[in-house]
Amino acid sequence: MSPDILLKIWGATLDTLYMVAAAGLIGSLIGLPIGVFLATSGKGELFPAPMTNRIVGLIVNAARSTPFIILVVAIIPFTRLLTGTSIGTKAAIVPLTIATIPFVARLVEAAIREIDKGLIEAARAMGATPMQIVFKVLLAEARPALTMALTMTAVSLIGYSAMVGAVGGGGLGDLGIRYGYQRFMPDVMLVVVIVLIVLVQLVQSAGDGLARRFDRRSRKN
């Protein structure tokens, strides 16, 4: 493999990391409150708004059931509006972020619904405001599950980011398709796949380790 190709792989790896980090960060920042809302706005819950809850739920489901590759193409006008282009790493961040939001929202919702209702009742009995319950009880208690959720998000994003390569998104997927597939360079394809596997492993181990540190539920002495 020529040094030129190796340099390209390195560059593509950085692009992938950039896309995953940017989309993961922005998508999580938007998805987290939506997930909290979904978990707390049912009938008789902290912020009861059953109608809005159902509508948001429907939108989230719709977004989640749209195949990612179709989402990428469908929102090209929106992408162009935001970034001025529909090709390249920067443009790819837009559909990746859009896909991340509902994904994170549902994971956050599930993480929060797992929390014992008794804790919410105890906090209410202490005179906590709904907002205090969200921050001091729900988000604090869900921290291990949220960490796992964000890890899953990052892993999925690494996969999705390889797909945006198909529409000129840049990154490792793009490199694999253009060099490995279209130029018949199986060794490049192999390296790309290995780099992706290593990335996923690193993210997963880091996430697991962090979640374990946060989890005080069954700590052994």
Q: How many other C-beta atoms can be found within 10 angstroms of the C-beta atom of residue 146?
A: 23
Q: How many residues bind another protein (CB under 8 A)?
A: 24
Tokens for 77? 């006008």
Q: Which of residues 141-170 bind another protein (CB under 8 A)?
A: 141, 143
Q: What residue type is 64 in one-letter code?
A: R
Give DSSP secondary structure letters for the chain: --HHHHHHHHHHHHHHHHHHHHHHHHHHHHHHHHHHHHHH-STTSSS--HHHHHHHHHHHHHHHHS-HHHHHHHTHHHHHHHHS-SSSHHHHHHHHHHHHHHHHHHHHHHHHHTS-HHHHHHHHHTT--HHHIIIIIIHHHTHHHHHHHHHHHHHHHHHHHHHGGGGT--SHHHHIIIIIITTT-HHHHHHHHHHHHHHHHHHHHHHHHHHHHH--TT---
Binding range to another protein, per CB under 8 A, among 45-53, 103-111, 118-126, 147-155: 118-126
- CB of residue 126 vs another protein: minimum separation in angstroms? 4
Question: By C-beta, is 136 or 178 nearer to another protein?
Answer: 136
Q: Does 116 bind another protein (CB under 8 A)?
A: yes
Distance CA 174, CA 75 (A): 19
Distance CA 37, CA 30 (A): 11
Question: By C-beta, is 114 or 208 nearer to another protein?
Answer: 114
Question: By C-beta, is 68 or 214 nearer to another protein?
Answer: 214
Q: Does 118 bind another protein (CB under 8 A)?
A: yes
Q: Does 125 bind another protein (CB under 8 A)?
A: yes
Q: Does 82 bind another protein (CB under 8 A)?
A: no
Binding range to another protein, per CB under 8 A, among 5-13, 136-144, 181-189, 199-207: 136-144
Question: By C-beta, is 34 or 133 nearer to another protein?
Answer: 133
- CB of residue 207 vs another protein: minimum separation in angstroms? 17
Q: Does 221 bind another protein (CB under 8 A)?
A: yes
Question: By C-beta, is 87 or 119 nearer to another protein?
Answer: 119
Interface with another protein (CB under 8 A), residue from 60, 101, 137, 172? 137
Residues that bind another protein (CB under 8 A): 116, 118-119, 121-129, 132, 136-137, 140-141, 143, 214, 216-219, 221
